[in-house]
Structures are given as structure tokens and as C-alpha cells.
Amino acid sequence: MTSDASKSPERVLGLPGERRAAPQSDDSVAEGLRGFGPLGVLAILVILFAGNYPFVPLSAILVLVWVWRSRTPWRDIGYVWPRSWTRTLAVGIAFGIAFKFLMKAIVMPLLGAPPINQAFHYLAGNRAALPAAIYAMIVVAGFGEETLFRGYMFERFGKLLDPVYGPRH
């Protein structure tokens, strides 16, 4: 017999911030993708070398397929809902403004850098190039690179180095 306490939401979902191991299954392909055997190493190489062709974050899409097929929890690659969207956006905008001010007013003059970044100056007043630039910033860099490197590669390195540094708390 099972008790009602064992079926509580905290018991099923885990506590906030708690790291849970990937679910055990009889699926050898999912286990192979999560491991560092031939299938796992092949998946890493395919994902890393897929790249962004042209303006399509193929590597990030393959990471999402890997997460689904390997049955890895989305939390492990950093896909979590914020507690408050409003607070998250407000803090992000405030830090962005503060960082921009710090760089423009203090760091760049100290390093002797010009006040205008010539590499992106073509965007000033060029409305035709703006959609492609915004797409590249949000989809290719924001989604593509962050999913690949911050999500997937950090997860893989964490699993690879786990025996060296011990389990995370």
C-alpha cells in the first residue's frame, strides 16, 4: 500500500532547485545518449559540428531533439520558468542599462576605444538591415548559442566531471 504523502506534489515534482537524476528506463538509446559511450560521443560531435547554417541554429535544434530523445529533464539544460516574469524582465533591463552605462562612460574611455562600434555602425538608420540583425541577436545568438553552450555543453561537462568534483548539492 502507498500512502498519500508519497504522492504529494513535492514528492513527485521535487523541491525547487533540486537536481534530479534522469529517469531510469529500459530505453537503451536514451541511456546511450545520456552516457559517454559511442552513441553519446557521436551525439556530442554531431551537435557541436552542425553549427548555424545560415541563420538557422541547427545545433540548438539538435540539442532539443537530444533532450527529448534522451529523456533528460529540461531543467538540466537550463530551461526553467522564472518565478516572476515581471521581476526577471525588470532586473534584466536594469542590469543591461547599468552595464551599457558602465562600458560607455567608464571602461571604453579608459581603454581608449572609440565611442562608436564601427562593425555595427551600418545599422544606424538602416531599417532594411534591422530585421536580420534582430533575428540574429535573438534566434541565432540568444536561442542557438545559449542552448548549445550554456545548456547542452555545461550539462555534458557537468556529467563528465561529476566523478571528479562529486555530486552537486
Query: pLDDT tens for residues 72-112?
Result: 999 999 999 999 999 999 999 999 999 999 999 999 999 99
| pTM reported for the whole predicted model | 0.70
Closest C-alpha among 33, 50, 49 to residue 41: 33
Any residues with CB less than 8 A from the CB of 90 and at least 6 apart, and which? none
**How many Cβ atoms are within 10 Å of 34's Cβ, its own excluded?**
22
* Domain range summary for the chain, segments of one domain joined by +: 20-165
The C-alpha atoms of residue 5 and residue 96 are separated, in whole angstroms, by 45
Residues 54-63, buried b or exposed e (16+ Cβ, 10 A)?
Answer: eeebbbbbbb
